[in-house]
Structure 1
Amino acid sequence: MSLDERKLEVLRAIVEDYIATQEPVGSKSLVERHQLRVSSATVRNDMAALEDEGYIHQPHTSAGRVPTDKGYRLFVDRLSTVKPLSPAERRAIQRLLSGAVDLDDIVHRTVRLLAQLTRQVAVVQYPSLARSTVRHLELVMLTPTRLMLVMITNTGRVEQRLVDMPVPLDEEDVLDLRSKINDKLAGCLLSDSPVLIETLVDETPQPMRSAMATLSNVLLDTLIERREERISLAGTANLARGTALDFPGSFGGVLEALEEEVVLLKLIGEVESPTTLRIRIGDENEFEGLRTTSVVSTGYGPGAVVVGGLGVLGPTRMDYPGTIAAVRAVARYVGELLAQN
């Protein structure tokens, strides 16, 4: 049968009470705490119908009811409002993130902030090299035959390499090489750069061709071999606040999954738009160790460009409206910060 509005209201009340109290919810407490405008008997009948449909279940005899993954999914899908962040929370986000001095600092502050706001495990992906663009390439002459190559992306990510040159260079040679590389690559997606780099050698006059070939090889190496994605994690201790109902058996499997970076990247790194929010509840998670958890994630980046993902992981009994609001707000602030840099 399709759920009518009254049964949806009962389900909403059960979810909210269970999230707040961590205790199975009975019909009497629902009538006392919520303005349902019906009798306890009617609520019991609605709860029986919800249980038959698989939206709630009774963890043991004589206990109240708790939501199932299916019940949480319906609750999330029918959310009409997202709990707004308080002015104090918004000020805390702005104050903490605006004080960041570089990309590492932005990521570390962001992941700590998310864990504090949601009281869950927070995960932030560093801006992906593959999705970034070249802002500037700098060549610094250390000796006539040794340069430092510094690549700065639009997200503030910095890659640097020492390069031993095949021939001695003077300052004018270095300036010329730097100009040619920047003219070719500035503003280009790093994923598109290898083809452009390969043309640099052919377009360089013969006297400097061997030097450009050496720099091109280092650039290609930087782009191809240094594409490993990095993540930052905070708030793992928040899992210990869970009850036996949150993590049936043990949350050892959750901890093991959190140690696998490839798992975390899969959870948060596949969003293509900063306005897209992904919520995976319980068995919707493809990783077995995370099937007692929910993950709320989104992408972030300057403007409409996604350069990485962020999100939180916690028990299925999480404050979905509050968590959604926090994840969206933090992603927006980080995107604005990257756009300013």
Structure 2
Amino acid sequence: MSSSQRRLQVLRAIVIEYVNSKEPVSSKTVASSYVTGVSSATIRNDMAALEEGGLIRQPHTSAGRIPTEAGYRIFVDYLDLSTAQVAHNRALLAAQLESVESLEDVIERAVRVLAKLTGQAAVAELPEIIPDRVRRVELVDLDEVRLLVIVVTAAGGVFEGHLILPPELRGPDGSALRSVRDAINQALEGVAAGRVGEAASRGRELTRETDRQLYDLVSEVVQERLGSLETSRIVTAGAANLARAGVDFHDVARVLEVLEDQSALIGILHNVQLASVQVSIGAENLHEGLAGASLVSATYGSGGTITPHAELPLSHVGVIGPTRMDYGRSLAAVEAVSGYLSRLLLKQSGASWDVPVQSQEARKETE
């Protein structure tokens, strides 16, 4: 074994022991329980090299060592995710969620299970699980100044908006209204609420040039009325776990404030790369409220072999906790939950799934 390989083992031992004991780790503990066949003096030299490299530190004189954020990063990068642990977590999820019928209820309960499995705070974004779609747009000429725009969705929603016409468009004739109505229905019928803006811009070309100003105004009203259907929501659970782990945070109140802020959480999750399970540690988190925390997250709703026309929503799920967390446990739990939710959405879409659980090493090779 080379000295670099041994030092990686020493770092791994310090992380695991510190996570379990909450106490600084001595060279004697590493030599007796983790890296056997090597003298304590050699381990001390390795620890000195790791400290010089900024991967561990000594919290106070005569104490053992604890990992730094850089040390946790190296540990996570070389962590081999246990497929057996992921499979066990998925089986547990299936057992606890099989009687739940609503997809929203499934996600909410899965978040509670995730918080229990990890001992951290769990978060999940509720996706546009069954996108509401435009069924019909109607235009009613109330008078020369006002136009009523009515949007009916496939889910039975009816949204009304009043359009005050500019002077040059007041008193539109029936031909103009029919032209705009027919064009916007041709462009938007069956389109998901979140894609109305893109589809409406294409439909503009279907309108007579003389009616395009009116078309643009009607399109703006439709997009405004359907805007509420595009709002993401966040489900959280396990905030009490962080309160109990307050000693691991410099300021746990800041982390709890983030958990209470829906818009902040949505921003944090949307800044995460669309990839398999990953970890951001301490200063790697862009939001200052999580500067002393770690986020283990994954996307769900896509993966495997998907039919070309399947429109599956992409959302995020993860856990937030102190940098001194059990990363193996958290990674396995987040992987299990994201995989379970993805399978559920894929099953509803009629697509298939054929992606096996990958180790960290395999994921790094494919990214």
The two structures share one fold, judged by TM-score above 0.5 = yes
Unpaired runs of at least 5, structure 1: 140-146, 153-158, 166-176, 205-212
Query: For 2:197 and 2:91, how far apart are their aligned partners in 1?
Result: 42
TM-aligned CA deviation for residue 47 of structure 1: 0.8
CA deviation vs aligned residue, 1:158-214 (integer Å, no higher than 9, x gap): x8346599xxxxxxxxxxx9xx9699543x45443235457889989xxxxxxxx9x
Say if 1:48 and 1:196 are closer, same or farther in 2 by CA, change over 3 A: closer
* Structure 2 equivalent of residue 262 of structure 1: 263
Q: What does 1:291-302 align with in structure 2 at a 5 Å threshold?
A: 291-302=291-302
* Structure 2 equivalent of residue 123 of structure 1: 123
Query: For 1:89 and 1:195, how far apart are their aligned partners in 2?
Result: 40
The answer to whether structure 1 residue 308 and structure 2 residue 315 are counterparts is: yes
TM-aligned CA deviation for residue 321 of structure 1: 1.5
* Structure 1 equivalent of residue 249 of structure 2: 247
Query: For 1:220 and 1:280, how far apart are their aligned partners in 2?
Result: 36
Q: Is the contact made by 1:98 and 1:337 (CA closer than 8 Å) also made in structure 2?
A: no
* Structure 2 equivalent of residue 192 of structure 1: 195
Unpaired runs of at least 5, structure 2: 137-149, 163-180, 208-215, 305-311, 349-367
Q: What does 1:124-203 align with in structure 2 at a 5 Å threshold?
A: 124-128=124-128, 134=131, 149-152=152-155, 160-161=157-158, 184-186=188-190, 188-196=191-199
The letter for the 1-side match of 2:321 is G
Q: TM-score, normalised by structure 2?
A: 0.70
The letter for the 1-side match of 2:27 is S
**Secondary structure of 1:84's partner?**
helix
The letter for the 1-side match of 2:258 is A
TM-aligned CA deviation for residue 83 of structure 1: 6.1
Say if 1:163 and 1:222 are closer, same or farther in 2 by CA, change over 3 A: closer
Say if 1:82 and 1:222 are closer, same or farther in 2 by CA, change over 3 A: farther
Query: For 1:315 and 1:86, how far apart are their aligned partners in 2?
Result: 22
TM-aligned CA deviation for residue 295 of structure 1: 0.3
Q: Is the contact made by 1:122 and 1:313 (CA closer than 8 Å) also made in structure 2?
A: yes
Q: Is the contact made by 2:127 and 2:315 (CA closer than 8 Å) also made in structure 1?
A: yes
Q: TM-score, normalised by structure 1?
A: 0.75
CA deviation vs aligned residue, 1:5-46 (integer Å, no higher than 9, x gap): 111110001001111111111111112212432011111111
Query: For 2:131 and 2:298, how far apart are their aligned partners in 1?
Result: 24
Say if 1:148 and 1:262 are closer, same or farther in 2 by CA, change over 3 A: closer
Q: What does 1:1-341 align with in structure 2 at a 5 Å threshold?
A: 4-82=4-82, 84-85=84-85, 88-128=88-128, 134=131, 149-152=152-155, 160-161=157-158, 184-186=188-190, 188-196=191-199, 219-242=222-245, 244=247, 246-248=248-250, 250-271=251-272, 273=274, 275-303=275-303, 305-341=312-348
TM-aligned CA deviation for residue 121 of structure 1: 0.5
Q: Is the contact made by 2:151 and 2:222 (CA closer than 8 Å) also made in structure 1?
A: no
- The aligned length equals 304
**Which stretch shows the higher mean deviation, 299-308 or 39-48?**
299-308
The letter for the 2-side match of 1:224 is G
RMSD in angstroms over aligned alpha carbons?
3.7
TM-aligned CA deviation for residue 326 of structure 1: 1.1
Say if 1:7 and 1:88 are closer, same or farther in 2 by CA, change over 3 A: closer
**Which stretch shows the higher mean deviation, 251-260 or 233-242?**
251-260
TM-aligned CA deviation for residue 137 of structure 1: 5.4
Query: For 2:43 and 2:292, how far apart are their aligned partners in 1?
Result: 28
The letter for the 2-side match of 1:29 is T
Q: Is the contact made by 1:137 and 1:149 (CA closer than 8 Å) also made in structure 2?
A: yes
